[in-house]
Amino acid sequence: MPFDVQVEWAKLQEAAQHLRERLPETPRVGIVMGSGLSAALGALEDELRLPWAEIPHFPRPTVAGHAGELTYGRLEGQRVLLQKGRVHYYEGRSMPEVVFPVRLMKLVGVEILILTNAAGAINEAFEVGDFVLITDHLNAMGESPLRGPNLDELGPRFPNLNDAYSPRLRRLAHEAARAVGLELKEGIYVATPGPMYETPAEIQAYKRLGADLVGMSTVPETIAARHCGLEVLGISCVTNYAAGIKPEARPTHEEVLEVTKRREQDLAKLLRALLARL
């Protein structure tokens, strides 16, 4: 069935209207907290909870470890719309569903989008627990969220993806990391369709293609965000070595959740320091 652009636009409008009626002010920064990281930031100031189930057409997550909540509030003086958890392509969602929350953020006024995720390390210089700033990506999902008729209201038919991960925001993130004494590495993220972890042969192939990190999210969101003109920052928490990178590297979901739990307070520290600089 061809993607119906009019229907998608109407759904987005309806959801945006629902949020606008509830938000006390226009959010400026959108944050998406990935696997196991949802609780990291705690409660926002004057927090308003916006249950996904009540937002028209908002896709529901199905994976354990993904809380599925949208909250609005202030943090470090910023007006923040915080998305705890995300829907993934591997859940069987269509790409327009996967990027629905990002487009919704744009429609309610968000200008800066911070995407976080858990990722496997392909680059052997990375260690489990590292935070890595995404500098660029490889889309190995085999699909684009922009395929089909263009949503002209959101952006151009052929958007470019140069500097998709904002150099300005990356500079500020490094400043923030220095200020709170955290190391922040940099790398190229490859997105795979999942839900299975990769084979060692696939990881070797991605390594030769230039990837430093591997995960199952973020890239569709970045593409949709750049399409509609959001400024994007991506931060990965390295939860494991990708398959075959170390002899013992056999990724499990338990390991991913265990490491994100262990690192979420430091991630919160980093994000707060970043918000204070935006």
Query: From the CB of 218, what's the least distance to ligand HPA, in Å?
Result: 10
CA 265, distance to chain mean position in Å, is 18
85 binds ligand HPA (CB under 6 A): no
Residue number, 256 or 278, with CB nearest to ligand HPA: 256
Q: Can you tell me which of 29, 99, 114, 242 binds ligand HPA, judged by CB under 6 A?
A: 242
Residues 36-75, interacting with ligand HPA (CB under 6 A) = none
Residue number, 214 or 271, with CB nearest to ligand HPA: 214
CA 135, distance to chain mean position in Å, is 14
Q: Can you tell me which of 120, 145, 187, 234 binds ligand HPA, judged by CB under 6 A?
A: 120
Segment near ligand HPA (CB under 6 A); pick from 132-140, 154-162, 208-216, 224-232 = 208-216
Q: Can you tell me which of 215, 221, 264, 271 binds ligand HPA, judged by CB under 6 A?
A: 215
CA 35, distance to chain mean position in Å, is 10
251 binds ligand HPA (CB under 6 A): yes
Long-range contact list for 81-84, CB < 8 A, 24+ apart? 81/23, 81/27, 81/29, 81/30, 81/31, 81/105, 81/108, 81/110, 82/30, 82/31, 82/33, 82/41, 82/44, 83/30, 83/31, 83/32, 83/33, 84/33, 84/38, 84/39
Write out the catalytic residue numbers: 35, 66, 88, 90-91, 118, 216-217, 240, 253
